[in-house]
């Protein structure tokens, strides 16, 4: 598990530096590492909570968290994340959902569209989008910020740091509620024990996330990291979807 822990720590450092949790990459690494698919969402969500907690506090202290705009998104997403965590999913369906989610994550990482004019989107549509992302987070262990942030950027919802702050809070709350649902579904103690048995990964993301919150990744390396991550996540998605 040593090599996997190192990869988790490095992933946490990179993602924490830009306000994300890294759930999609943790999921990919866990699957490549041969971890039982049923455990993957809970472990990924636990890692998300550890990583984005520091970033969320940092954004709040900096005064860039747009609370009035962010809280409605959180309010509709969190209950759905809990419900997603509770939802019993057959392994074949979970593998398909994981594969599709990772593929969508890879696309979101690769393509960061920029437009001269903001895309018009009714604010009311953001609420069902947030709810859907919350449910997805609970089921597969991806916090949803990786999908929410590009949408908020496209519609010029807020300035860049405020969007990053919102994504961080979104991931934190979704991951907490989704993890709670996963633990209840997994008969509490049994699932807690299974997640705790992977403690080197949790320690690794704690250290990596703490370092990442103190760093600012410059645009050049960040773009390269994003593309490399997309390749890894996309590879695992294809492997899951097509069974090789």
Instruction: Supply 108's token pair.
Output: 């979101």
pLDDT value for 218:
45
pLDDT value for 45:
93
Do the Cβ atoms of 153 and 163 come closer than 8 Å?
Answer: yes
The CA distance from 68 to 2, in Å, is: 42
pLDDT value for 79:
96
The CA distance from 93 to 215, in Å, is: 38
Strand, helix or coil for residue 142: coil
Residue ranges for the chain with pLDDT beneath 50 = 216-220
pLDDT value for 155:
83
Q: Residue 57: which H helix or E strand, with range?
A: helix 40-61
Query: Using one digit for the tens of pLDDT, what is the confidence trace for 145-203?
Result: 888 888 888 888 888 888 888 999 999 999 999 999 998 887 666 778 888 899 999 99
How many CA within 13 A on the CB side of residue 58?
22
pLDDT value for 91:
80
pLDDT value for 217:
46
The CA distance from 39 to 46, in Å, is: 11
């Amino acid at each position: 598990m040593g090599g996997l822990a190192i990869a988790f720590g490095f992933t946490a450092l990179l993602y924490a530096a830009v306000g994300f949790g890294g759930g999609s990459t943790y999921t990919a690494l866990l699957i490549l590492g041969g971890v039982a698919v049923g455990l993957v969402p809970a472990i990924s969500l636990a890692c998300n909570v550890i990583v984005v907690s520091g970033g969320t506090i940092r954004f709040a202290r900096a005064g860039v968290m747009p609370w009035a705009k962010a809280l409605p998104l959180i309010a509709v997403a969190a209950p759905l994340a809990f419900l997603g965590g509770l939802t019993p999913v057959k392994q074949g369906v979970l593998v398909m959902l994981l594969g599709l989610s990772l593929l969508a994550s890879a696309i979101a990482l690769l393509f960061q569209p920029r437009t001269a004019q903001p895309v018009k989107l009714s604010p009311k549509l953001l609420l069902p989008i947030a709810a859907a992302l919350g449910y997805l987070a609970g089921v597969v262990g991806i916090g949803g910020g990786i999908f929410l942030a590009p949408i908020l950027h496209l519609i010029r919802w807020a300035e860049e740091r405020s969007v990053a702050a919102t994504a961080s809070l979104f991931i934190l709350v979704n991951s907490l509620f989704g993890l709670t649902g996963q633990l209840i579904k997994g008969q509490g103690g049994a699932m807690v024990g299974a997640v705790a048995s992977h403690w080197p990964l949790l320690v690794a993301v704690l250290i990596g996330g703490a370092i990442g919150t103190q760093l600012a990744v410059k645009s050049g390396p960040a773009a390269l990291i994003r593309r490399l991550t997309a390749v890894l996540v996309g590879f695992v998605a294809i492997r899951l979807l097509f069974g090789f």
